[in-house]
Structure 1
Amino acid sequence: MKKQIQYITIIGILGWGGVSNVHAQIKEEKLILNRNREPEVKKIEKKKTSIAAEKNYPPKGKDSLRYKITNIPIVSDFKTSTIAGEDISPQFKADSHRNYFQIGYGNYGKFLFDGNVSGQLKPNLEVGADVHHIDTSGLKKDYTWNSKQQTTEAHVFLNSYGTKGKLNIDTGLELNGFNYYGNYQKVIQPKAQAELKQNFTKVGVNAYYDFYANHYLNDIRLKTSFTKDHFNSKENYYDLNLNLSKHDFQISFEKEIKLNTNMGVGIQGVNTQFDLLKKNESRHFTANFTPEFTLFKGNHYLKIGSRFTVLSSQYQSLSSDKSTESKWHWFPTAELLIAPKDEVKFYAGVNGGIKLNTYSDLLHDNPFLVSDLLLRPTETKYHLYFGVKGDIEQNFKYDIHGGYSKLNNILFYRSNNLFSFNSGDLRPTYDYLNTFSTFYDHGNLSDVSISVAYFPLENLNLSGEFKYMSYALKNFDHAFYKPIIQTTLGAKYSLLNKKLDFGFKGILVTDRKANAFYPELATPDLETYTTNEVTHKKVAGYADLNLFAEYKIHKNISLFAMGNNLLGKSYQSYLGYKVMGAQILGGVKLEF
């Protein structure tokens, strides 16, 4: 009877998923199956399952405490194609192999290779590498010009476990090749042989040292990267943070109240140089000091702190001399959690800070940017938030969150006008109304989010997320390409004694506002143009559906199939850039 219920459940899930749709933009179509390069633990709960801690305990050879550690994210970490990476394969196995590689092929000429290998050189020293590659031939039936794209990533990592802490080092290389294939008007269009290519390469080193005990030294983190694109733009980035802490102070007048103290010290910088059009250059440096005190009483806590930031910026272009700006910023930090029981926990707080907008990050968000941007930091003067979350009987988790923020230099994208208004025969790659630039405005952001995860069966995981975001800007009516509502539904299911796995992901995004330019011939004999801007162009919303299945034919060999954008609608995430239709990719995976 139990098996029949499970079969009925999975049929219901797949049927329910059929009314949604999935994101399948060419550039962002990047499958990441069964591995995370930079694991992110969204929620870890430690539950004591055996003896209590006692002085001078345990006896020699015994463990003092045993913990059951569950890593259950509030929402699925599956990402669809337009948000860069995706994994919908269920992960119920506790004995999964560390090493694997897989290869797959699908329509639109899609080819996938993915692998990870690691091993121990010594009992406390591990080294490894992973490689990910995917390419596609693009939309040959929709465009006469080239729209193929590819992404390749390779990483080498080292993990060392010492007597006082652990060290992790990762060195990575990322190669991205694609085309400015989007075009939303018919007056000026590329020739079939037109070169529309763009590419960028990113190399970086990340290092992290985590001290086992929080006695004065907590952890040290370093991130570095260098990015260069096809048009000779260059960007250097670094981020160094040292976290100091002293925990478990007993408050003398109330023994059940404990105090934790933390101090973060960090520097961050980015230098970006463009070699096209206005040749914009920007250099930003921040130094951060974040003292923080947290009082604990049972499951309740009160955190009070501050963030002191000094920001120094330099700007220069062909049309403007070098200018320098330096300013100190103070941001409040506080959070209160009242947890009468696990099922209901109330929280509220305030925070803020400076975010450095980098060319590298923006290319991952919107690869169709012209290679000449004005890059300004975004300042969150304050972000007020409140919410309620809980864990009901360890099989239903929820988090309801609301917030209000005041921001300076909110970044959003706008379509570019033509850069040259003469004949289109010799028009450069980025001059077919097919690129975007960054724009900024001050304003407020109101947001609401609801996240839930439900585990009705041991091998069934259901998740959902709802996000509402509304901007009120000072100078613009709309923050372009910022949807008001995004909804995500997901499911993972395993059956046949964990030999057969299913995954589902559906995303619904509402309409977004955009701007557009429509050219007209000004002098037909000379083929010069004028353009008229429309500032309230609508980019239609979409529904996006993905399905995944994997069957283990041997303990080391599996067959998998993935379907993306199964409803096949050629919607747009950015104006002019159609996504691929229904896609099917199948392959084989070897684990060892």
Structure 2
Amino acid sequence: MKDFMRVNVYNTANKPRFFGSPNNVILGVLGLFLAGVSSLSAQEKDSTDLKNKEGIGTEVVNVVKAYTPTISDANKIQQTPSLSDSITTATKEIDYTIFSVPVASTFTPSKGKATGLKRAPKEQLYNSYLALGVGNYNTALLDFYTSYDFSRDQRLDVMLTHHSSQGGIDQVELDDKFYNTALQAHYKMSDRYMNWGIKGGFQHQIYNWYGVPADLYASQELAAIDEKQSYYTVFIGGDIGFQDSYFSGGEVYYRRFWDAANSGENRAVLSPKFEFPMGNEWVNLDVMVDYVGGEFDRTYFNGETPIKYSNLMAGVSPSFQLSGDDYSVTLGASIVYNQDLENSDGDFFFYPNVHASYDVIDEFVTVYGGVDGQLKQNSYYDFAQENPYVSPTILVRPTDQKYNGFVGVQGRFLPNVGYNLKGTYRSVSNAYFYRSNSYHIGMDSQIVNDQGYAYGNSFEVLYDDVSSISVFGEINVDINRNFSAGVNAEYMNYSMDDIYEPWNVPNFKSSAFASYFIGKWSAGVKAFYIGEREDFIDNPTWINPERYTLDGYFDLNANVGYDITDQWSAFVKANNITGGAYNRYVHYPVQDFQILAGVSYKFDL
């Protein structure tokens, strides 16, 4: 700014000075400030006009290095600050007394109560059970069970069962009743490191060889036949188990079995088990000693010479298991030595024990396979339980199951529908089969035997080397806790070495079941089908040998139960509902439609 104002000030001494009164000074400073602001505003306007004419332009920014933030490690301060308080105060003791003044009040305190959850009433449990039933064919049923706890670690279980029928099958000439009564007791004791138990029992069974050929014997001959057979069994055994020990446990068992035909048998089994660590896994070692010996009073055909047998086997079976999230593998083997004590003949047997499974789709598809084998100790008791119409003149020897190879797949179609499909190939030496004995019909029959089982109404045991292929499949359904059902079927094909056919063994069998519970009601259905079987009777010289084909049969059974009270229940059982006295064995028809009704009672002893 070029123009300015000059002010001349004169004092009282008439000398010029550049000072004025305070008001004039203020006005001068204000004028200078306004002039400066006007000058700056004009310059900014000129600069703005220049930029508008030239344009903003472009600029380039170069990033030399990307920004990489880092976080330093946190370090805890280890030094503890020292406090130096120069001011300290001493605690002053105060003596005082409480002056209580009673105040009238109507308030009464009460304890608070927590809100409880509603629980279902606890089910009453009883330690004893008794069921009684009767049915047609003069059938009687008894089931009794009780469990008594001496203490938390000691318990005694007792069971008594009875099932009998007075018979009455149509077109059967001989007595066809049966009787089966068994009593068992089991004492158990356990503590923190071990548990053990002892058991024993007695069983009495009565059966009749009623399956004589029709129209072959006169009524006088039939009346002279003593067809009754009685079996008696006494057994005692014990078991023991240890925790955190190389000796994990074992069992010991002895059984005496005899019959009304002066036959007798002893069976003794000892089976300790061991576990040894190997890295992070364990090796199992099962040891077995098994003895069976017995005697039959005579041979079937013409001898009074008794039949004796005595067999001892001992073996070890080591095994090792590997498993992961989706697989499991068991590697093992068995070495068994068998000694025929009666004939002074012994031999070693070796068997594989390899099983493996793999989850292709967890819970839905699992493939499995393996190969194993065993030396099976057969006994007169086992034969009589499987077929009570065997004659007390049979041969008893062990069965060599050389190998049993199998592959399969199992899993679920749906969360509540399971399946299993399995194929098996077996090679067995001394496999046993039941075949009808020859008839006793006069001296020409070459049978010097008039016992009640010598009229074509009993069975012998034959042995042969067999190879077989089988296919097995099953489906199980569990809709909920109240309903379940299942069905299975198996087809078998046999290749025999010496005998013509696998006598009395079907090539096909199937079974199905269903059970349902609703409220106080329960119901169940069981059905099974057994395919055709073959039998052969090689008889007296003047009667041609006969080959029988037994038709397949279907058997449907059902049961219904109703809980009258918490302790009382009623039940009805029906067997062979479809009817028909089919033949289970040659000349052995079964009872037709059977029905049995009864009640059960639960209580405490």
Q: Normalised by the size of structure 1, how large is the TM-score?
A: 0.76
Deviation, structure 1 residue 303: 1.6
Deviation, structure 1 residue 587: 0.4
Structure 1 Cα separation of the partners of residues 240 and 367 of structure 2: 33
Contact kept, 8 Å, 2:173 with 2:210, in 1: the verdict is: no
Structure 1 Cα separation of the partners of residues 262 and 327 of structure 2: 53
Give the alignment of 1:5-44 within 5 angstroms. Answer: none
Deviations for 1:63-113, whole angstroms, at most 9, x for unmatched residues? xxxxxxxxxxxxxxxxxxxxxxxxxxxxxx997644200111000000111
Distance 1:507-1:474 versus aligned 2 partners, 3 A rule: same
Give the alignment of 1:358-373 within 5 angstroms. Answer: 358-373=379-394
Distance 1:582-1:140 versus aligned 2 partners, 3 A rule: closer
Residue 272 of structure 1 is matched in structure 2 by 294
Deviation, structure 1 residue 263: 0.8
Structure 1 Cα separation of the partners of residues 529 and 543 of structure 2: 33
Structure 1 Cα separation of the partners of residues 175 and 444 of structure 2: 21
Contact kept, 8 Å, 1:145 with 1:193, in 2: the verdict is: no
Deviations for 1:381-418, whole angstroms, at most 9, x for unmatched residues? 11111111124665222221111111100100111113
Structure 2 Cα separation of the partners of residues 212 and 110 of structure 1: 47
Residue 71 of structure 1 is matched in structure 2 by none
Deviation, structure 1 residue 333: 1.4
Structure 2 Cα separation of the partners of residues 94 and 327 of structure 1: 58
Are residue 188 (structure 1) and residue 217 (structure 2) matched? yes
Residue 461 of structure 1 is matched in structure 2 by 484
Deviation, structure 1 residue 449: 1.4
Deviation, structure 1 residue 361: 0.6
Contact kept, 8 Å, 1:292 with 1:304, in 2: the verdict is: yes
Classify the secondary structure of the residue corresponding to 1:364.
Answer: helix
Residue 70 of structure 1 is matched in structure 2 by none
Return 149-158 or 416-425, whichever deviates more: 416-425
Query: What is the aligned counterpart of 2:559 among 548, 553, 570?
Result: 548
Residue 472 of structure 2 is matched in structure 1 by 449
User: What amino acid sits opposite 1:571 in the alignment?
Assistant: Y
Contact kept, 8 Å, 2:431 with 2:466, in 1: the verdict is: yes
Give the alignment of 1:164-175 within 5 angstroms. Answer: 164-175=193-204
Deviations for 1:195-241, whole angstroms, at most 9, x for unmatched residues? 2110110111132223344x422220222211000111010001111
Contact kept, 8 Å, 2:265 with 2:292, in 1: the verdict is: yes
Distance 1:421-1:314 versus aligned 2 partners, 3 A rule: farther
Aligned residues between the structures: 472
Query: What is the aligned counterpart of 2:255 among 181, 204, 225?
Result: 225
User: What amino acid sits opposite 1:108 in the alignment?
Assistant: Y
Residue 489 of structure 1 is matched in structure 2 by 512
User: What amino acid sits opposite 2:138 in the alignment?
Assistant: G
User: What amino acid sits opposite 2:456 in the alignment?
Assistant: L
Contact kept, 8 Å, 2:127 with 2:147, in 1: the verdict is: yes
Query: What is the aligned counterpart of 1:399 among 411, 415, 420?
Result: 420
Classify the secondary structure of the residue corresponding to 1:406.
Answer: strand
Deviation, structure 1 residue 141: 3.8
Residue 137 of structure 2 is matched in structure 1 by 108
User: What amino acid sits opposite 1:395 in the alignment?
Assistant: N
Give the alignment of 1:21-420 within 5 angstroms. Answer: 97-139=126-168, 141-188=170-217, 190-192=221-223, 194-213=225-244, 215-246=245-276, 249-250=279-280, 259-277=281-299, 278-315=305-342, 323-340=343-360, 341-391=362-412, 394-419=415-440
Deviation, structure 1 residue 507: 0.3
Residue 543 of structure 2 is matched in structure 1 by 531
Structure 2 Cα separation of the partners of residues 403 and 211 of structure 1: 36
Structure 2 Cα separation of the partners of residues 118 and 435 of structure 1: 40
Classify the secondary structure of the residue corresponding to 1:531.
Answer: coil
Deviation, structure 1 residue 342: 1.5
Distance 1:477-1:238 versus aligned 2 partners, 3 A rule: same
Residue 569 of structure 1 is matched in structure 2 by 580
User: What amino acid sits opposite 2:458 in the alignment?
Assistant: T
Distance 1:287-1:569 versus aligned 2 partners, 3 A rule: same
Structure 2 Cα separation of the partners of residues 282 and 206 of structure 1: 23
Classify the secondary structure of the residue corresponding to 1:191.
Answer: helix
Distance 1:551-1:187 versus aligned 2 partners, 3 A rule: same
Distance 1:516-1:423 versus aligned 2 partners, 3 A rule: closer
Distance 1:477-1:426 versus aligned 2 partners, 3 A rule: closer
Contact kept, 8 Å, 1:140 with 1:146, in 2: the verdict is: no
Structure 2 Cα separation of the partners of residues 391 and 157 of structure 1: 38
- The RMSD of aligned alpha carbons is 2.2
Deviation, structure 1 residue 186: 1.7
Deviations for 1:221-270, whole angstroms, at most 9, x for unmatched residues? 222211000111010001111111146843xxxxxxxx331111110010
Return 107-116 or 448-457, whichever deviates more: 448-457
Deviation, structure 1 residue 335: 1.3
Distance 1:423-1:178 versus aligned 2 partners, 3 A rule: farther
User: What amino acid sits opposite 2:516 in the alignment?
Assistant: Y
Larger radius of gyration: 2
User: What amino acid sits opposite 1:211 in the alignment?
Assistant: F
Distance 1:466-1:284 versus aligned 2 partners, 3 A rule: same
Considering Cα pairs closer than 8 Å and 6+ residues apart, tell me whether 1 or 2 has the greater RCO.
1
Query: What is the aligned counterpart of 2:499 among 476, 479, 500?
Result: 476
* Identical amino acids, percent of aligned pairs: 24
Structure 1 Cα separation of the partners of residues 451 and 431 of structure 2: 30
Deviations for 1:532-568, whole angstroms, at most 9, x for unmatched residues? 212x420111000100011011110000010011112
Deviation, structure 1 residue 464: 1.4
Classify the secondary structure of the residue corresponding to 1:428.
Answer: coil
Contact kept, 8 Å, 1:231 with 1:276, in 2: the verdict is: no
Deviation, structure 1 residue 142: 2.4
Contact kept, 8 Å, 2:440 with 2:450, in 1: the verdict is: no
